[in-house]
Amino acid sequence: MLKEFRAFIFKGNVVDLAVAVVIGAAFGAVITSFTTNILNPVIAALVGKPDFSAYAAVVNGSKIQYGLFLNALIAFVLIGAAVYFFVVAPMAALMKRMNGPQAAPPVTHKCPECLNDIPVAARRCGHCGQPVAVAA
């Protein structure tokens, strides 16, 4: 039983998942710090400090603090924007640059008889009249 547990722990998937969780937590801390320490001060400098934590409503003696929800919602949007514009979009551009341009599907192929270019959907060569199979 101990051998099976050791085999399970050292499988690639478990170790990869553990590394992903640790890296994800560290990356989350970096993005949260970026949002809190860079984006929020820039927004505060432009439009005033956006703090809605004091907003609340009282319904039947219960205090509903919708201002805290608004703060969390704004933080979520800022973090999402930071991740997209500073991680996802640059990585997509890098991968596109690394993979190179994608080749367009061919629009012509060679006639087997006269070797002239004919359209892919042609059933007969326009140059020699030879019947040809439609290319896949």
Range of lowest pLDDT (16-20, 108-112, 124-128): 16-20
Cβ–Cβ < 8 Å for 129, 113: no
> Residue 22, exposed/middle/buried by CB under 10 A (0-12, 13-18, 19+)?
exposed
**Same domain as 65, residue 113:** no
Inter-residue long-range contacts of 106-110, CB under 8 Å, 24+ positions, other chains counted: 106/135, 109/135
What is the separation of C-alpha 42 from the centre of its chain, rounded to a whole number of angstroms? Answer: 26
Is residue 65 very low, low, confident or very high in pLDDT (cuts 50, 70, 90)? very high
Residues 91 and 24 in one domain: yes
Q: Which domain holds residue 119?
A: 104-136
Q: 90-125, pLDDT tens digit by residue?
A: 998 998 888 877 778 888 888 888 889 988 888 888
| 43 in Cβ contact with 54 (< 8 Å) | no
Residues 60 and 34 in one domain: yes
In total, how many domains does the chain have? 2
Backbone φ, ψ for residue 35 (5° rounding): -65, -45
Q: Do residues 108 and 51 share a domain? A: no
> Quick one: pLDDT at residue 105?
85
Say if residue 131 is in the same domain as residue 69.
Answer: no
89, 108: one domain: no
